[in-house]
Amino acid sequence: MLIVLAGLPGVGKSTVARALALRLGATWLRIDVIEQALRNSGQKIWAEGYAVAEALAASNLFGGRFVVADCVNPVAASRAGFRAVAEQAKVDICEVELICSDPIEHRRRVETRPAEIPGLTPPDWPAVQASTYEPWESERLVLDTARLTVEQAVDAILVRMHTSKC
């Protein structure tokens, strides 16, 4: 199965993705790591990071692994790309949109999160607020990380995976 965690920077995607991947023994594909590696090699980034993530996801899915993709996934085109990968690999896809309904908490997370990826400067609060983020038009599980612990979010995703087609 391909599980795609999406949402604005600072909502908790990487924290939930890490915990979910550990629980499932899945491959964790973190778009920030991929894009920073491309930047480090002198590449300008637009859709290249998502293309690499999709290729890695397909490779792991064809190898029989669960994949957790961790990305903002802000536009319909990137969402369609992951759905196409799942279709190609003949696996189910579980799309999860993480939100943080508390703007004060969201801002605090953005402004205080540690730099985990060498060379990556995470977006600041004004950049997050100005982000392009298209409304979703497909079925997805929406989880509010202002109201759920990491463990509760992971449990909700696992329940969704096992009780219905995502």
What are the pLDDT digits (tens) for 51-87? Answer: 999 999 999 999 999 999 999 999 999 999 999 999 9
Sheet hosting strand 141-144, strand order edge to edge: 27-30, 67-70, 2-6, 93-99, 141-144
pLDDT tops 80 at residue 165: no
What are the pLDDT digits (tens) for 133-157? Answer: 999 998 999 999 999 999 999 999 9
What are the pLDDT digits (tens) for 33-56? Answer: 999 999 999 988 889 999 999 999
Instruction: Give me the residue spans of the domains in the chain.
Output: 5-163
Domain 5-163 has CATH 3.40.50.300: yes
| pTM (global) more than 0.85 | yes
